[in-house]
Structure 1
Amino acid sequence: MSIETKPLPPSSRISLRREWLASPLVFLASLLLFLMVYLYYNWPEKWMSTAGILRWDGATLTLSKGQGHPTQGKLLIRRLTDQGIAIAALTPPVFQADDYATVNWSVSGIRPGMEMEFMWRTAENRVFVRPLVWEDNVIQPLRMTEDENLAWSGY
């Protein structure tokens, strides 16, 4: 018994190569589609935004309750009201809230037991409040898209 091998003609080689490539390409396309669907449902912020970063330092804040003053780009709060509160306000330019899913803070000099809240007003003049959470001596970023009832949208 003898075994004889003959090389494949060029047209058959191209056909085999195409068949071999089809399976990995279909797999990669399926994986890419799955990844896009997963990100769409599990990453609610906008993926690509042309909006720039909005940043204000403490010196741009004004105290409407409590006593203090701006110094070296910071707002120094010296005294709270008799009710134990201080309110620092900012009048930013109008911006599209949907473009800013996260609010970050940099605060120092907070004593243990102090509570802080982030308040904002919508164009319809409704006021909303979110508590600021301290963890490891740092205020955690506020994910504004986590709660649909907070009305963090619009102008």
Structure 2
Amino acid sequence: MARQRKKQKHLRSLAVPFTVAAPAGARIRDRLRLTSADEKVLTEVGRHLGRHARADLAARIRLGQVAAKDTRRASRKKALTAVSSSRWAGAITRASEDQYRLSLRALYDERTGLRRAITTIRTRLAVPCGRRTGKVRGYADPAERFH
């Protein structure tokens, strides 16, 4: 049986360095020029969608902490589609879910911060006034301790 020869590995050759050109497009920032009728229509649409968005968020909160498949998003979206477009209904249900998750995360962070503060106070109370035990410093005097 003949032995197969291993191919020698060669280093890749590097491409010539180059710089990327700056963006050539123009960015235009301007505000909408609305008529008074447009303002009235947008205000009414905002009120209408806002009312339904608040109701959807309240419905999501009532569900509580459930798995993602149990959030009833499809049924909530279907109910919203009856009073708005499917695109708005999808945006509202996504926003409600995002807001709910964000509020849970903020609540969890707040609870964690409070627990840390309680632990710090507890460790400082365990050390006699004016003393230090390891890295933990007790309160300077009884007045500071009970303040």
Asked if Structure 1 and Structure 2 have the same fold, meaning a TM-score greater than 0.5 normalized by the shorter chain, the answer is no
Q: Which has the higher contact order (CA 8 A, sep 6+)?
A: 1
TM-score by length of 2: 0.29
Max Rg structure: 2
Question: Comparing both structures, which one devotes a greater share of its residues to helix?
Answer: 2
Structure with a larger share of its residues in strand: 1
TM-score by length of 1: 0.28
